[in-house]
Chains A and B, each alone.
Chain A
Amino acid sequence: MNKLLDKIIEDTYTKSDLMRRLGLLKEYTVRRLFSKSVNSLSLSQIDSEWITSLGEDFFKKFDIKSVYDTFTQLEVAAKEINPLTIFLSVDMSNDYIAQIGQRCRKLFARLPDRQGQRFLIDIKLDPGLIAGCSLVWGGVMKDYSIRAKIEENKQVILQSFKRSLK
């Protein structure tokens, strides 16, 4: 089951994507197993490519008897993953989000209990950050944005501003 999840997470970087893909995968797999026809399932190109990238060996691990249980376990395991919430100041495309996700997995590969391999992010929008991002991990927030830097250097900024007024 872990290998299945690892495979699914391999090219999935956000938790919302993971849950969505699990749902899609479940439907796809069930149709594949029970109706032998998956054409009626409407998938986006990206999703379709992703499913194809999983390979036939992946789907061989599912059988009719245990497919639902397997997916239930996968969903449970997926829900247990705590993602790193990243607040961005601008909306980014999936490519950039994927790049950020990959960078996170490289940086935090050594986390225990497979957290490094299964590292997921959760992207949220906060235009007030101006630029940069703020991170939330384990219920704790750390602001690395421009706004935080302005706040840190507020007195210096104000002093130079007041000096420039004189």
Chain B
Amino acid sequence: MLLALLAAVGGVIYAVRYFRSARSGLMNLDQAQQKGFEHLRRAYQKAQEILGKAELEGIKVVADTKVTTRKLEQKYQAETEEVVGELEKSFSEGLNRSSKEFIIYLDSLKKTSEKAQADTQAYMQSRVNQILDKFETNLADFLTQTEQKSISAIELELKGARNLIDTYKTQQLTLIDENIIAMLERTLSLVITKKLTLKDQVDLVYEALERAKVEKFIV
């Protein structure tokens, strides 16, 4: 197409130059016009031929271009498809590889996690066992101490209660003894007052005075 255009422009330029040269030369105007018209016609025919050729060429070029383009497109598409396929393939391979690696990694992670979980569990278990043992020991000690304290407190209370009971018993027995003595004194005072004469009473006083003298109470 471009060539055709260039050819057409070249023909026009030639015609113009010719006309210029014709104009500038002092030839027979009719001949010159006739020649010119002849040349013009030829040029025109040439130009038409050239244009035709150019069109043909252009069409050809266009067709070739289309074909080439189509081929290129096809090739491009094929290559693109090939590349895409290869890319897809490599991508899928890579994806598979990555998946596999990822799966392997996940497996290893899983194993590590399981191991860590197992270790943690074992540690927690041992720790819990330690705490429970310690708790059990402390609880046993606490219960023993509490028991001992309770027993001591109860024994103290019992001792206090026993002492209280003994004291009360002693007091009551003392009270009873005193009551017996009081009853005896009362009985004697009632009986002796009636049985003893005044002379007997005076004799008892004499006896007391004798004892006072012997004991040197009155000095």
Mask, A135-166, CB within 8 Å of B = 1, is: 10100101011110011001001100100000
Q: Are B180 and A146 in contact (CB under 8 A)?
A: no
Stretch at the interface among A34-42, A69-77, A101-109: A101-109
Is residue B100 within 8 Å, beta carbon to beta carbon, of the partner chain?
no
**Candidate in B192, B193, B205, B219 with the most chain A CB atoms within 10 angstroms:** B205
How far is A51 from B192 in the complex, measured between Cα atoms in Å? 39
Q: Are B198 and A135 in contact (CB under 8 A)?
A: no
Q: Are B213 and A142 in contact (CB under 8 A)?
A: no
Is residue A25 within 8 Å, beta carbon to beta carbon, of the partner chain?
no
For A, the interface residue count at a CB cutoff of 8 angstroms equals: 36
Is residue B105 within 8 Å, beta carbon to beta carbon, of the partner chain?
no
Shortest Cβ distance from B206 into A: residue = A103
**Candidate in B181, B184, B200, B209 with the most chain A CB atoms within 10 angstroms:** B209
Shortest Cβ distance from B196 into A: residue = A131
How far is A89 from B211 in the complex, measured between Cα atoms in Å? 18
Q: Are B177 and A154 in contact (CB under 8 A)?
A: yes
Shortest Cβ distance from B208 into A: residue = A144
Interchain nearest-CB distance for A108 vs B (Å): 6
Is residue A84 within 8 Å, beta carbon to beta carbon, of the partner chain?
yes
Is residue B157 within 8 Å, beta carbon to beta carbon, of the partner chain?
no
Q: Are B217 and A135 in contact (CB under 8 A)?
A: yes
What residues of A have a CB within 8 angstroms of the CB of B205 in the complex? Answer: 86, 88, 100, 132-133
Shortest Cβ distance from B202 into A: residue = A96
Q: Are A108 and B202 in contact (CB under 8 A)?
A: no
How far is A127 from B64 in the complex, measured between Cα atoms in Å? 171
> Which residue of A96, A131, A144 contacts B211 across the interface (Cβ within 8 Å)?
A144
For B, the interface residue count at a CB cutoff of 8 angstroms equals: 28
What residues of A have a CB within 8 angstroms of the CB of B144 in the complex? Answer: none
Number of A-B contacts (CB under 8 A): 89
> Which residue of A90, A100, A132, A144 contacts B193 across the interface (Cβ within 8 Å)?
A90
Q: Are A130 and B185 in contact (CB under 8 A)?
A: yes
Question: Are A100 and B201 CB-contacts (below 8 A) given A135-B217, A144-B207?
Answer: no
What residues of B have a CB within 8 angstroms of the CB of A132 in the complex? Answer: 201, 204-205, 207-208
Q: Are A90 and B189 in contact (CB under 8 A)?
A: no
Is residue B95 within 8 Å, beta carbon to beta carbon, of the partner chain?
no
Interchain nearest-CB distance for B191 vs A (Å): 9
Q: Are A96 and B208 in contact (CB under 8 A)?
A: no
Shortest Cβ distance from A112 into B: residue = B219
> Which residue of A103, A130, A151, A158 contacts B189 across the interface (Cβ within 8 Å)?
A130
Q: Are A104 and B209 in contact (CB under 8 A)?
A: yes
Is residue A1 within 8 Å, beta carbon to beta carbon, of the partner chain?
no
Shortest Cβ distance from B173 into A: residue = A158
Interchain nearest-CB distance for A161 vs B (Å): 6
Q: Are A133 and B185 in contact (CB under 8 A)?
A: no
Question: Are A154 and B181 CB-contacts (below 8 A) given A103-B209, A107-B209?
Answer: yes
How far is A145 from B196 in the complex, measured between Cα atoms in Å? 14
Is residue B188 within 8 Å, beta carbon to beta carbon, of the partner chain?
yes
Is residue A92 within 8 Å, beta carbon to beta carbon, of the partner chain?
yes
How far is A64 from B193 in the complex, measured between Cα atoms in Å? 52
How far is A20 from B66 in the complex, measured between Cα atoms in Å? 182
Given contacts A100-B205, A132-B201, A150-B188, 8 further A-B contacts (CB under 8 A): A99-B202, A100-B206, A107-B213, A108-B218, A131-B204, A134-B208, A135-B217, A157-B184
11 A-B contacts (beta carbon < 8 Å): A90-B193, A100-B209, A128-B185, A131-B200, A132-B208, A140-B217, A142-B215, A150-B181, A150-B184, A154-B181, A157-B181
Q: Sorted from nearest, which 6 A-B pairs have the closest CB atoms?
A: A144-B208, A132-B204, A130-B189, A133-B205, A137-B218, A131-B192
